Each structure stands twice: as C-alpha cells, then as structure tokens.
Amino acid sequence: MKKYNIGYTTGVFDLFHVGHLNILKKSKELCNYLIVGVSTDELVQSYKRKIPVISLEDRIKIVESIKYVDEVVVQKTMDKLNSWEHLKFEVMFHGDDWKDSPMWKEYEGGFNKIGVDLVYFPYTKKTSTTILKQKIII
C-alpha cells in the first residue's frame, strides 16, 4: 500500500483502549504525518447521545502522548470535508464499523471528488469504550 504524506483520523478516544491504539498505529504506518481529531463533548452528545467519561482536555493530552500522533486538533463537527479544507490531508483513516453508513458513503463520494483516499481498518470487536463501561458497572 502506498505511503501518504498527511493522514487524518478522528475519534472520541474516551477510556483509551487497544482499539484506539491500533487505529493510530496502523494509520501512522501509512503516512508520514498523522493528524488526529478529538471530538468535543457537545459533538459526541449530538450523535451518540452520551457524554464522554474523560474530559476533552484529558483526552487530548492522552492522544498527544501517543508516539504515532504528530498533531491533535479539536473536532467540533462531523463534517470531514470541512476538516479537509483546513488540514489538507491526503488520506482519512477510520474503523470499518461505520463503513456502509449513509454518512460515510457521502464522505467517500466527497473525498473521491477531491482526490482524498479513505482507508478503513477492521474494528476491534473484543474491546470498545461501551464494553469497558459495561464491565466497570458489573
């Protein structure tokens, strides 16, 4: 697979776990410079209907400390094409759990028009923030 110069991925990164680490590591393996968007609490509330356990500031600090990450930006909107306008990445990385959703089909079409590749990585099924929260409650 080709190596990109600037890559981009986003996430909530709440209760940071190995699935988060996997996507950051795999993303960095394919690009020279990896920008990571960390979602605001308000954005997460708007589409997941829940507020992260870890504060935005702490989630940013955690993601910034990962050796695969070159830059962290705050993600205030789900509009990835708008993010491209500011960041000019060549490729966006994402977990394949959202791959066939209408929103991501729309992104695929938009990215295709501007020459941005979209690379999906397998979702880490054995762990997620939701699973971790359920285990903590038990």
Q: Which of the residues 26, 50, 61, 126 is marked catalytic?
A: 50
What residues does 33 pair with on adjacent strands?
6
Residue 3, judged by CB atoms within 10 A of its CB (0-12, 13-18, 19+), counts as exposed
CB 36 within 8 A of CB 67: no
Q: Which of the residues 25, 48, 80, 125 is marked catalytic?
A: 48
Whether 99 sits among the annotated catalytic residues: the reply is: no
Whether 125 sits among the annotated catalytic residues: the reply is: no
The residues annotated as belonging to the active site are: 48, 50
